[in-house]
Amino acid sequence: MRALGLNALLLVAVAAAAQSSSPAVTPAGSSAAPLLWQLQESGSTASLRGIFSVDSKVAWASGTEGTVLRTLDGGEHWTKCTVPDAAGDGATLDFRGVYAWDEKTALVMSSGKGALSRLYQTQDACKTWDLFFANPDKTGFWDAFRVDPDTGAISILGDPVGGAFRLFTQNSATSEMTSKPPTDELSPTRGNPLQAAPGESAFAASNSLFIRTSKDGSFAFVTGGKRSEFIEYIAFIIANHSHYASWHRVRLPFAASESSGAFSVSISTSVRDRRFFPIVVVGGDYKSPNNSSQTAAWSLDGLHFQAAQIPPHGYRSAVQWSEALRAFITVGTNGSDISHDDGNTWQPLDDGEWNALSLPFVVGPKGRIARLVER
């Protein structure tokens, strides 16, 4: 399926997070101060895969064993939240994603087969949690969710069910979650725009494979497995006020296997006196974390992606644009890297173990949390 170029429609993009610890590194070709990942005491041994920074002070993290953490002072102190559904099976849930509006209101997403994929919401600083939505697909598995920063509408992306990726979106009028596209949008001739290729899937690694690409409702996600692609939904209002929407797919230069592919995508928000907003995708093979081959790609138009000339130094599960640093930062289980040229070349930052980032924080296995600082 073909559509207008992504950047012809791009108005704004989303941003998120990063962190780590180890020797301070000044990126090659940069006059910036050395960057250091400063470890913090999380008070947890859970494997952390969710992180969301509201601002420089308030952040939420999530992970295995029903773990949700929160800081109100920039990470000097992290406190454990009440476990969602503590009276039930909450302590067994794996919370792969988190989103917060402030220090009191947040959503966490658990990933698991069928009804083990859920969304919980708190409005009282995580003292109590309410079940917001549970996966209706018995064989489904949720990979990521996002909240529209303008409307507050929630979208959830899941692995293919019946051969098609599952996408749930919130109705702005009723606040109910519905599947997309609706059944009546499909036909034998049109087909399902979310149809997955054989062996294609999505990875629930860092809740960062699913992004907004413009204010008009357009968004994109990346896939992996035996076929890695950048899939964008284009939606906009044309002159006669009718609504036009379509999907387009772009093949990504990543290896094809059950454990490899694209894991995360980010878009630069810097104008830099040019028309295009660079897009960076990272990934690799999570079973071979030290293999740097095919771990990053970049694009200036959303229609053509090129492999990084100098890739990150291993598998990467999350990437984020930093407007303050005017750079992309990516993290994975063997360290982190930074790129000052829109994802074409990368320089190592550290060799720590990380899963997900939301500036200025990063999280990883065994309760690892750090904050990005200048030395």
pLDDT digit string (tens) for 290-349?
Answer: 999 999 999 998 889 999 999 999 999 999 999 999 999 999 999 999 999 999 999 999
Dist. CA 181–CA 219, nearest whole Å: 14
Structure tokens at 244: 């036009």
Residue 258 inside a domain? The answer is: yes
For the ranges 185-194, 236-245, 320-329, the lowest mean pLDDT is seen at 236-245
Residues near 316 by Cβ (< 8 Å), separated by ≥ 6? 263, 264, 282, 283, 284, 295, 296, 330, 331, 332, 337
Residue 140 inside a domain? The answer is: yes
Residue 1 inside a domain? The answer is: no
Domain harbouring 313, CATH code: 2.130.10.10
Asked if pLDDT for residue 50 goes beyond 80, the answer is yes
206: nearest Cα among 147, 253, 146: 146
For the ranges 28-32, 127-131, 135-139, 344-348, the lowest mean pLDDT is seen at 28-32
CB atoms closer than 10 angstroms to residue 261: 30
Residue 106 inside a domain? The answer is: yes
Residue 62 inside a domain? The answer is: yes
- Among the ranges 145-149, 177-181, 251-255, which has the highest mean pLDDT value? 251-255
CB atoms closer than 10 angstroms to residue 231: 21
**Count of structural domains within the chain:** 1
Structural domain that includes position 209: 6-374
Q: What percent of the chain shows pLDDT beyond 90?
A: 69
Residue 349 inside a domain? The answer is: yes
